[in-house]
C-alpha cells in the first residue's frame, strides 16, 4: 500500500509540474498583455498637425504624407483654416490603430473613430496608438475634393 502510493506520487510529479508550467503560462499571458497596452498608453505622445486645406482654400492636406512608427502613441491635431468644411477620411488606417480619444472643443469621444468632419475654423485632436504597419490612404470625400488632390498617405513602419 505504501509503495503503491509512493509510486503514484512519483508518476504524478512530472504531470503536476507540467500543469504548473501550463497554468503559469495561462495566467501570465493576459497580465503581460495588460502591461504592454498599459505602457503603450503611458508613453508620451508625438504631436503632429495636419491642416485640412488652407486660408487660400486649396484642396489639399498639409502635410499630405505622414510617417509613423507602429506601437507608438500620437496626438494628431487637425485644423481647418479654410472657409469650407472638409473630411479627414482614412478608414483602413483607423481600423489599424487603437484610438484612445478624440477631443473637439469641450467634448471628448472614446472608442473607434473612422472619419472626422471639420467645419471652417474647427480643430480636433485624435490620440491613438499605431498597431499595424502599412500604407494607408487619406482623402476628403466631399464631391470634387479627392479628384482635385485632397488626398494623402499615412505610412506606418515597424
Q: Which residues bind Cu ion (CB under 5 A)?
A: 86, 140, 142, 145, 150
- Side by side, the strands of the sheet bearing 134-139 are 65-69, 151-157, 134-139, 86-89, 115-118
Query: Closer CB to Cu ion, residue 51 or residue 86?
Result: 86
Q: Which is nearer to Cu ion, 134 or 137 (CB)?
A: 137
For residue 147, the minimal CB distance to Cu ion (Å) is 11
Choose between 87 and 156: whose C-beta lies nearer to Cu ion. 87
To the nearest whole angstrom, how small is the minimum distance from the Cβ of residue 53 to Cu ion?
6
Smallest distance, Cu ion to C-beta of residue 109, A: 21
User: What's the min distance (Å) between Cβ of 94 and Cu ion?
Assistant: 17
118 and 86 Cβ atoms separated by less than 8 Å = yes
CB 99 within 8 A of CB 73: no
Between 13 and 65, whose beta carbon lies closer to Cu ion? 65
Contact indicator for 45, 75 with CB cutoff of 8 Å: yes
* Minimum CB distance to Cu ion, residue 50 (Å): 13
Whose CB is nearest to Cu ion?
Answer: 140
* Spatial separation of the C-alpha atoms in residues 97 and 107, rounded to whole Å: 21
Read off the DSSP letter of residue 149: T
CA distances from 143 to 73, 122, 148, 150 (A): 32, 20, 10, 11
Name the residue nearer to Cu ion (CB basis): 59 or 66: 59
Amino acid at each position: 500500500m505504501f509503495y503503491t502510493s509512493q509510486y503514484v506520487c512519483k508518476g504524478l510529479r512530472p504531470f503536476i509540474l507540467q500543469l504548473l508550467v501550463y497554468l503559469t503560462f495561462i495566467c501570465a499571458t493576459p497580465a503581460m498583455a495588460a502591461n504592454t497596452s498599459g505602457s503603450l498608453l503611458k508613453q508620451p505622445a508625438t504631436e503632429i498637425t495636419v491642416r485640412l486645406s488652407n486660408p487660400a482654400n486649396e484642396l489639399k492636406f498639409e502635410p499630405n504624407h505622414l510617417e509613423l512608427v507602429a506601437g507608438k502613441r500620437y496626438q494628431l491635431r487637425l485644423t481647418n483654416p479654410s472657409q469650407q468644411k472638409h473630411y479627414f477620411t482614412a478608414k483602413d488606417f483607423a481600423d489599424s490603430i487603437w484610438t484612445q480619444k478624440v477631443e473637439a472643443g469641450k467634448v471628448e469621444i472614446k472608442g473607434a473613430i473612422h472619419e472626422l468632419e471639420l467645419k471652417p475654423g474647427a480643430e480636433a485632436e485624435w490620440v491613438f496608438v499605431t498597431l499595424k504597419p502599412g500604407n494607408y490612404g487619406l482623402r476628403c470625400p466631399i464631391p470634387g475634393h479627392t479628384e482635385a488632390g485632397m488626398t494623402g498617405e499615412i505610412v506606418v513602419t515597424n
